[in-house]
Amino acid sequence: MQAAPTRWVPPADHLAPVYAQWSLDVVDAAGVYLHTRDGRQVLDLYGGHAVAALGYSHPRLLAALEQQARTLIFQSNAVPLEVRARAALRLTRFAGLGLNTAFFINTGAEANENALKLALRITGRRKVVAVEGSFHGRTAAAGAVTWGAAQKWYGFPQAPFEVEFLPRGDLGAIERVIGTDTAAVIVEPVQGVAGARDLGEPFLAALRARCTATCAQLIFDEVQCGMGRTGFPFAANMYGVAPDMITAAKALGAGFPCAALLMADHVAAHLRIDDLGTTFGGGPMACALIEAVVDIIESEGLLANVRRLAAQIRETCLVGPVTGVQGAGFLTGLRTRRPAKDVQRELLERDILTGTSADPHVVRILAPYVLEDAHVAQLRDALAALPG
Ligand SMILES: Cc1ncc(COP(=O)(O)O)c(C=O)c1O
């Protein structure tokens, strides 16, 4: 009898050894489940760092991908494309808040890099204020405003501008730290890597007021918390606080790499030909998927689904090792009595994939917006079966 065919797995020796690897051997995925080589079906509540917002193999996403690939796989930004114009229109309408202009790039870090560059140039100032616990990306400017990067991995000999960190949630420090020398304040309204820390409306509204008073640009980094993850188009909509710029990535293409910088009219008014640029940003594939993602979120009522099931997680998952639930929508932090990495491992042993965070006692959940009641019940039952 012939042995069952096994897939050939190339040795990983030629990959840069910069990522710790989970013990998870994924071969493919469908809906909210990953399938492993040894036949397990794993409920994915992490989505590849918040990217797979529509789960896997969503038929309308695949149709958009295939149709655009067949129609026109690429043309540069020098060639005007209908699909690019449509993506910008859909995305800026989705955001509202007077953010009427989109610049498309490729990654979250690149979006933040461009937002910061614009703010520094518009104001002619040299200082950027960020918030303790922040994560904004790995490039020179984005890394400079990322909390703790200099000590951990930054690598550049110096930051490209002056940076000051604001204590998280400290309303009293806002007036002291943000002044007429501040070009920009960059903030994740709900901090992701920090462990799903919702900064709250009073803090964000106070940042808005202070930026307005000092003519500093307020940048909401919604790379992780935006594009529907909070159950609103952006966290800015949830709080009713309009920044001058929003950066988006991750869920924006639901798996296709792309990012966007959304700007208020007074920011866009400063732009001239050649000020910003990228080869791949705004490519037709990315734009077709951005348009499809907005369309799917809106037409399938996924914002309401996120809000409803996020409330269900809050109500039912205070079991086993979980002592609290924090964050907003599907940027959820389960505060755990025991180390989060132990709880994460135990959940994976029970076929549920979650993430951790910079907080050693927070398990981070970045569930797909297409989650169903039964999946929340599966999570609750698994948590309840773990030691407290
Ligand atoms: C809030 C936030 N900003 C920026 C980034 C960087 O995005 P990218 O990895 O696409 O450069 C991340 C990535 O985790 C993030 O969570």
CA of 108 to the centre of ligand 1 (A): 5
CA of 249 to the centre of ligand 1 (A): 8
Tell me, using a 6 A CB cutoff, whether residue 222 lines ligand 1.
no
Given the CA of residue 109, which atom of ligand 1 is nearest to it? 11
Residue to substitute in 134, 136, 229, 252 for testing ligand 1 pocket (most ligand atoms within 8 angstroms of CB): 136
- How many angstroms separate the CA atoms of 347 and 357, rounded? 15
CA of 49 to the centre of ligand 1 (A): 9
Tell me, using a 6 A CB cutoff, whether residue 92 lines ligand 1.
no
Given the CA of residue 137, which atom of ligand 1 is nearest to it? 6
Token pair, residue 79, equals 């060639």
Q: Which residues pair with 363 in a beta bridge?
A: 334
CA of 112 to the centre of ligand 1 (A): 9
Nearest CA to ligand 1 atom 8: 108
- Alpha-carbon dihedral of residues 22, 25, 29, 33, nearest 10 degrees? -60
**pLDDT value of residue 374:** 98
Q: Beginning with the edge strand found earlier in the chain, give each strand of the sheet holding 322-328 in spatial order.
A: 322-328, 331-336, 362-365
Q: Considering the chain, what is the average pLDDT of its residues? A: 97
Question: Is the entire prediction scored with pTM above 0.95?
Answer: yes
CA of 362 to the centre of ligand 1 (A): 19
By percentage, how much of the chain surpasses pLDDT 70?
Answer: 98
pLDDT digits (tens, 9 = 90+) for 7-61: 677 777 899 999 999 989 999 999 999 999 999 999 999 999 999 999 999 999 9
The mean pLDDT value for 200-209 works out to 98
**pLDDT value of residue 206:** 98
Given the CA of residue 112, which atom of ligand 1 is nearest to it? 4
Tell me, using a 6 A CB cutoff, whether residue 358 lines ligand 1.
no
The mean pLDDT value for 92-119 works out to 98
CA of 114 to the centre of ligand 1 (A): 14
Tell me, using a 6 A CB cutoff, whether residue 108 lines ligand 1.
yes
Given the CA of residue 259, which atom of ligand 1 is nearest to it? 10
CA of 243 to the centre of ligand 1 (A): 18
Given the CA of residue 106, which atom of ligand 1 is nearest to it? 10
CA of 141 to the centre of ligand 1 (A): 13
Tell me, using a 6 A CB cutoff, whether residue 113 lines ligand 1.
no
Q: Look at residue 313 and tell me whether its pLDDT is greater than 50.
A: yes
CA of 247 to the centre of ligand 1 (A): 10
Tell me, using a 6 A CB cutoff, whether residue 137 lines ligand 1.
yes
**pLDDT value of residue 13:** 84
Per-residue pLDDT band at 1 (split at 50, 70, 90) = very low
pLDDT digits (tens, 9 = 90+) for 143-192: 999 999 999 999 999 999 999 999 998 999 999 999 999 999 999 999 99
By percentage, how much of the chain surpasses pLDDT 90?
Answer: 96
Q: Are strands 127-131 and 162-166 parallel, antiparallel or unpaired?
A: parallel
Tell me, using a 6 A CB cutoff, whether residue 107 lines ligand 1.
yes
